[in-house]
């Protein structure tokens, strides 16, 4: 069986969705191909890259991409990480077996020194709960 394809979406593709992409590769890259995109892509935020590197998570090749780059592609799961992206991807022409909505606050809008680390931890917790479910589903097919 091939790797499952997962797309993480948020507004700017500068923090949350990049964290999801890098973290899934780190946690289960042998079983999943991870991608990320934004509805209005910016560029990777320096604090995003810093917090990932401090946790020992590879950042090589991480870049902000537009959701349009993935038009017409199939994903086993699309994980939307913010309300703005949730609104925008309702009409997205891509296909997925599963769409999840994890409303995670934008760390750029949180005035705490550990905002990016907290965001990464929240995504890690959700992936830790979701991954066993996906692996169980895959073993039953």
Instruction: Enter the pTM of the model.
Output: 0.92
* CA distances to 21, 27, 28, 108 from 130, in Å: 14, 12, 12, 25
Nearest CA to 47 out of 128, 127, 126, 118 is that of 118
CA–CA separation, 34 vs 39, rounded Å? 17
Q: Detail the DSSP E strand segments found in 18-76.
A: 32-38, 74-75
> Domains of the chain (ranges plus CATH)?
4-140 (3.40.50.2300)
Q: Of 34-43, 109-118, 119-128, 132-141, give the lowest mean pLDDT range.
A: 132-141
CA–CA separation, 100 vs 102, rounded Å? 6
Q: Could you give the dihedral angle defined by the CA atoms of residues 105, 111, 112 and 114, in that order, rounded to the nearest 10 degrees?
A: 50
Query: Is residue 90 over pLDDT 70?
Result: no
In this structure, the number of other CB atoms found within 10 A of the CB of residue 101 comes to 14
Task: Please state the rounded mean pLDDT for residues 100-127.
Answer: 93
Reported as a single tens digit per residue, the pLDDT across 44-83 is: 999 999 999 999 999 999 999 998 899 889 999 999 888 7
Task: Please state the rounded mean pLDDT for residues 108-132.
Answer: 95
CA–CA separation, 102 vs 78, rounded Å? 11
Reported as a single tens digit per residue, the pLDDT across 7-30 is: 999 888 999 999 999 999 999 999
Query: Is residue 124 over pLDDT 80?
Result: yes
């Amino acid at each position: 069986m091939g790797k499952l394809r997962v797309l993480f979406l948020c507004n700017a593709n500068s923090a949350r969705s990049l964290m999801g992409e890098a973290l899934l590769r780190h946690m289960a890259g042998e079983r999943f191909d991870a991608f990320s995109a934004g509805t209005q892509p910016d560029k990777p935020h320096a604090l995003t890259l810093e917090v990932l590197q401090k946790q020992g998570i590879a950042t090589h090749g991480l870049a902000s991409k537009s959701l349009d780059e993935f038009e017409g592609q199939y994903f086993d799961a699309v994980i939307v990480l913010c309300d703005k992206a949730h609104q925008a991807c309702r009409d997205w022409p891509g296909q997925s077996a599963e769409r999840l909505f994890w409303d995670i606050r934008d760390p750029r809008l949180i005035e705490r020194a550990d905002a990016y680390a907290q965001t990464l931890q929240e995504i890690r917790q959700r992936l830790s709960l979701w991954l066993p479910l996906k692996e169980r589903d895959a073993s039953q097919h």
